[in-house]
Structure 1
């Protein structure tokens, strides 16, 4: 079983606090895969955000998710790559990136412009 490094673990914990749905997603990934595959998990997050983007009651949750991602972009190269490839590219693939881009902070917005 792969052990997550501290920055990745902190990101996943922050996302679980931002939206408790992610705690369930993490448990499901552990059950199915035997470990948390962080790129798959962030891809699941992107799909979840894409489904939530138009829900009137999801605004605060989306803001908490984007704040957790923004806070995680603190210079750790692996975490930056994880957010860009695992989350932003998958969000773009769902067609939802442009619809939520205006809610991003400056760091997340910068990286969103590169995918």
Structure 2
């Protein structure tokens, strides 16, 4: 596949999708993303489709019996692929909902060093 860090730029934010070695940006159904607004505010999300959750729940039944699934920054999408996930992000931004949909990240030590 391609670069594991797949950057998508919009006029309002950048989104970096962290693809796995076997992931294809057109079909990925389980991926982490970091969204950075133009003011530097950063958010994270884990995008999953219902199919990805179901596959996980049906695998390795011994661990917790796979009776539950928890992910603190979970966003479930109907469709797989980076383009579908970008539609979610762009729609949330247009509605001023990114701060409700995503998990805000604290500024990093590197962010503080840039001011020096």
Using the size of structure 2 for normalisation, the TM-score is: 0.25
Greater RCO structure (CA 8 Å; 6+ sep): 1
Using the size of structure 1 for normalisation, the TM-score is: 0.26
Bigger CA radius of gyration: 2
Higher helix share: 1
Higher strand share: 2
